[in-house]
Structure 1
């Protein structure tokens, strides 16, 4: 009996002691659950660091920095347009756009249009008419303003840091375009002095399988040694869930003067590119898009150096002058370009442990041809006399041809052209 009584007493004491422990643990869980949205915010786009989390005070500090950054790049609007695809377009006075935050542009206004290259035919800029959805309801920005896609807190939060937001981060750049996670299928010319380039690119909606990857098709204007002094100007279309929060193909621009390290950005997300057009929003979605075995839609891209002032100008679509990159932004490109590239680029994070299934172009290989594969047509360069010329000595390069490939040709209608792209991961691409 003594043994039984002692056992009962011990059990009762243990039960009483357990109650406050359970209460404390439940209270802890309730507090933890209330903080979960804060604690689970990702802070890195590096696949190896995606499980890192913020402490509450770090989150508050980061939000303060983000909101300060948004006040800097989202300029006061004289008119705001809500796009059917979810974008908000602000009509900003031309001289208040982000470019004029640059010390060398403060107090200035956009320049007048330059002389277009000889041999340029704006009627050849598109197979079919393309537009941006924000203009679809017969609204536009007033004269004297430029349309700027508004950047949101969520846009910045998707990036691993404010410093990396709006930048094409590269870990090493080599002359053959290969780097650790960027893959290309490109045509290029080099060995001469180039004053610009022109091409028409058909627009697709490639599948991007990881938020931290992108798929783009663009023209590169390049100078430098492909070391830390690499200068590039880039324009075309891209799908980037991290940058835009969706899978739409969007018209974009990019520039760097130090191999993507500290200078440059996409679109108007830093002071650099000066927009002069009030009808096209850089970073806005392009519509309609090409379909497999169906109608094809393409955009014209032309970049050239103004013979008078030396700035690099951009034209989009059917003769729409978009704006310019001031020459003082660059080192080597203050002069001429030493290489021109046309083609596609994707990011392969290998987040699942194998090659990404992110598509390049249409997601089909070059060999499938028109209506199935992506193309660039009427590839041209601008020479010292501000004249458009067909390409000579065209080179082709595919970093991983079993994943994405490229082929070239020429005919009387399309001049120099390429087909390129692919599905990414497949039986031969692991």
Structure 2
């Protein structure tokens, strides 16, 4: 069946996310009925066929299948058969070998690093494969769109930013929590965000971190994620491997899989260390998780990020689609930053790669919170943590009505 036909694109849009890779024109301009519910028997049959086609596109043949304790199915897929190579610009290519990361920092905190639930049993993918979290029909029915922003959404940030310049990489260590959300239509995350371009027009981003997002994953577990866009979240890009783009090279980490263990209030702290840098030879943006090179975003995916990034953000974010004045969705640990270590969420060992291709600590970063009485941020510079900040909060409270 031709997935580029207007009918199939229309049906696809009504249930699942659609990228320009499959539907080249805007569905809203092609058919004003795009948001209507399809109820006739023929239309339901077509919807079922469309879902089957999309699942086949997303879920590649597995060499080995692993059942995760949390219910996820992890497919071990040959590296050259992964979704990335469905992209028109990447067809026929094979994964590149990791380059050497620029020297000068590469520091990882000495606290315990979180791992992933699917690998706790000792199961692993064979050499020459990568682990991919299998997408189910329920996943597609839940997620109408991967586009995460809307003018009416309650969208809050508590972030640290560096002034606009040329950046060729960034890193941070962040502790991992499981923030509560009041409904399935919210997300809460902590991320590092590398950007270039104009908001609302041609923004290019690379985003990495952890998130709780029931609409995408069907549960409230904390999951490792990546995201990218080349056109300000309009059509290109997606979470994890749900569209062609990111090329994974590592068999140990599954994008979108649950993280374990997580930090506890006034208890043990667990964290992840993430690095993103631009390879001088190829221009590709590489991702490293702790001591593991995970893969890369090919430079051909981007327009503005073909060169350097213009800015970097680190911090927390919540989105609530209920349009409330204040949301009770937690950010980070759900506690304000002034509660400090073991109680509040933090980022530390924050570095960027500057125009000289050197790792440097941002010594004069700016911090910003949309609504400090709901979610706040406090930054500093420490001899052991380097540039750091605490962030987060409970959301709705007596000072945040």
Instruction: Give the alignment's TM-score, normalised by structure 1.
Output: 0.83
CA RMSD of aligned residues (A): 1.9
1:84 to 50, 57, 69: 69
2:121 is the counterpart of 1:142: no
Contact 2:153/2:322 (<8 A) preserved: no
Contact 2:84/2:247 (<8 A) preserved: yes
2:279 is the counterpart of 1:306: yes
Alignment of 1:181-330 (within 5 A): 181-317=154-290, 319-330=291-302
Q: 1:411 to 1:219 in 2, by over 3 A?
A: same
1:388 to 352, 359, 362: 359
Q: 1:126 to 1:62 in 2, by over 3 A?
A: farther
1:331 to 283, 287, 303: 303
Contact 2:16/2:140 (<8 A) preserved: no
In 2, Cα distance between equivalents of 1:126 and 1:235: 21
Deviation at 1:349, TM superposition (A): 2.3
Deviation at 1:192, TM superposition (A): 1.3
- Residue aligned with 2:49, SS: helix
Comparing 102-111 with 211-220, greater Cα deviation is found at: 102-111
Report Cα offsets for 1:254-282 as digits up to 9, x if no partner.
Answer: 00011100000000000000000000000
Larger radius of gyration: 1
In 2, Cα distance between equivalents of 1:87 and 1:302: 26
Contact 2:153/2:321 (<8 A) preserved: no
- In structure 1, runs of 5+ residues without a counterpart are 1-41, 46-50, 173-178
Match of 2:318 in 1: 346
Q: 1:296 to 1:332 in 2, by over 3 A?
A: same
In 2, Cα distance between equivalents of 1:120 and 1:322: 19
Contact 1:398/1:406 (<8 A) preserved: yes
In 2, Cα distance between equivalents of 1:264 and 1:60: 29
2:382 is the counterpart of 1:398: no
Match of 2:138 in 1: 154
Alignment of 1:19-168 (within 5 A): 54-57=38-41, 58-121=43-106, 124-125=108-109, 127-160=111-144, 164=145, 167-168=146-147
- Residue aligned with 1:191, SS: coil
Deviation at 1:214, TM superposition (A): 0.3
Match of 2:26 in 1: none
Report Cα offsets for 1:84-143 as digits up to 9, x if no partner.
Answer: 011000000000000000112111110011120212335x25510321111111110011
Comparing 418-427 with 128-137, greater Cα deviation is found at: 128-137
Deviation at 1:354, TM superposition (A): 4.7
- In structure 2, runs of 5+ residues without a counterpart are 1-13, 18-34
Deviation at 1:183, TM superposition (A): 1.1
Deviation at 1:402, TM superposition (A): 1.2
Contact 1:126/1:200 (<8 A) preserved: no
2:355 is the counterpart of 1:370: no
- Residue aligned with 1:283, SS: coil
In 2, Cα distance between equivalents of 1:201 and 1:104: 34
Aligned residues between the structures: 370
- Residue aligned with 1:333, SS: helix
Deviation at 1:43, TM superposition (A): 6.3
Contact 1:203/1:237 (<8 A) preserved: yes
Higher helix proportion, which one? 1
Instruction: Give the alignment's TM-score, normalised by structure 2.
Output: 0.89
- Residue aligned with 1:64, SS: helix
Contact 2:156/2:371 (<8 A) preserved: yes
- Residue aligned with 2:310, SS: strand
In 2, Cα distance between equivalents of 1:364 and 1:98: 39
In 1, Cα distance between equivalents of 2:398 and 2:320: 17
